[in-house]
C-alpha cells in the first residue's frame, strides 16, 4: 500500500466535523417557534388596527347589551361616527373610579396589554350610544323626550319601561366631541351627569376606541348592533 504523501491535507468533511445534525438546531427552533410567533404578530396587528373585544361590565346599556356580553369593536372607523352608533371610549376624566391592579396581577395585565390581548387601560373604558355629533343641539325636557336639532327621537333601543330622559338638558355638541347616553337611561351615568366636568359631559372623539358591531358571547346573545342610526333618520344635518 502506498503511503500518503507528507504534507498533503485532506479536506475536512462538514458532516464529519460538525456532526450529522449541524445547523439543524436553529432551523428546528424556527420551525417550532415560528408559527406561534407569526400568529401572535397577526393578533397584535389586528388588535392594534382592526378590532378589539370588550366585556360589558354593567347594566347601563340594557337591554341592547347586558353585563357579561362580549362585543367586537372595530377600530378603523372612529373618524366616521354617526348618531346611533354604540361606541367604546376611554374614561374622559372622572367618569370611573377603578383602581389599578398591583403586584403579580398588575404585571400580568401589563404583559397582556403589551401583547394586545387586553386593550390599553383595561378597566377604564365605557360603552354608550352616540346621540349627538358635532354641531347638534340635543335637548331633553325632563318629561321623557329627547330631541336632536328639533326632531323628537323615537328611540326603540331604550330599555322597555324607561323614559328617554328624566333629566332636563339643552346642549350643543362642540367640534371634536360627541354626546353619549346609555340605553338604560335610568341607570346610566352618561353625558347628562357630567356636565360640570372638564369637557361639559361631552366625550372627545380622540378618546373613542371604536364602534361596537357584534355581540359574540355568550352564544345565546349572538347578534349585531346595527339599526341604531334609524332613530335619527329624520334628523337634519347640524
Active site residues: 60, 128
Exposed / middle / buried, residue 146 (Cβ in 10 Å: 0-12, 13-18, 19+): buried
Beta-carbon neighbour count of residue 88 at 10 Å? 22
Beta-carbon neighbour count of residue 177 at 10 Å? 22
Write down the residue that cell numbers 346621540 correspond to: 131
Beta-carbon neighbour count of residue 90 at 10 Å? 19
Half-sphere exposure of 80 (CA within 13 A, CB side): 5
**Nearest 5°: phi and psi at 193?**
-100, 10
Distance CA 27, CA 200 (A): 59
Distances (CA, A) of 137 to 66, 132, 148, 154, 193: 29, 7, 6, 16, 17
CA 61 to chain centre: 16
For the record, the C-alpha cell of 47 comes out as: 388588535
Taking every pair of C-alpha atoms in the chain, what is the biggest distance, in angstroms?
115
Amino acid at each position: 500500500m502506498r503511503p500518503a504523501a507528507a504534507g498533503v491535507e485532506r479536506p475536512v468533511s462538514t458532516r464529519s466535523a460538525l456532526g450529522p445534525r449541524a445547523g439543524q438546531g436553529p432551523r428546528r427552533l424556527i420551525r417550532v417557534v415560528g408559527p406561534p410567533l407569526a400568529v401572535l404578530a397577526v393578533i397584535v396587528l389586528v388588535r392594534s388596527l382592526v378590532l378589539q373585544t370588550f366585556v360589558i361590565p354593567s347594566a347601563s346599556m340594557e337591554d341592547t347589551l347586558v353585563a357579561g356580553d362580549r362585543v367586537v369593536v372595530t377600530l378603523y372607523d372612529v373618524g366616521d361616527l354617526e348618531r346611533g352608533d354604540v361606541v367604546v371610549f376611554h374614561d374622559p376624566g372622572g367618569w370611573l373610579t377603578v383602581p389599578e391592579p398591583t403586584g403579580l396581577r398588575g404585571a400580568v395585565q401589563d404583559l397582556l396589554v403589551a401583547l394586545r390581548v387586553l386593550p390599553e387601560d383595561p378597566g377604564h373604558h365605557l360603552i354608550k350610544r352616540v346621540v349627538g355629533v358635532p354641531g347638534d343641539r340635543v335637548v331633553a325636557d325632563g318629561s321623557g323626550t329627547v330631541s336632536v336639532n328639533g326632531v323628537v327621537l323615537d328611540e326603540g333601543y331604550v330599555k322597555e319601561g324607561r323614559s328617554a330622559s328624566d333629566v332636563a338638558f339643552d346642549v350643543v355638541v362642540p367640534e371634536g366631541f360627541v354626546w353619549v347616553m346609555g340605553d338604560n337611561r335610568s341607570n346610566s351615568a352618561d353625558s347628562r351627569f357630567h356636565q360640570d366636568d372638564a369637557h361639559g359631559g361631552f366625550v372627545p372623539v380622540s378618546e373613542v376606541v371604536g364602534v361596537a358591531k357584534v355581540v359574540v358571547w355568550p352564544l345565546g346573545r349572538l347578534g349585531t348592533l346595527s339599526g341604531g342610526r334609524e332613530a335619527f333618520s329624520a334628523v337634519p344635518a347640524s
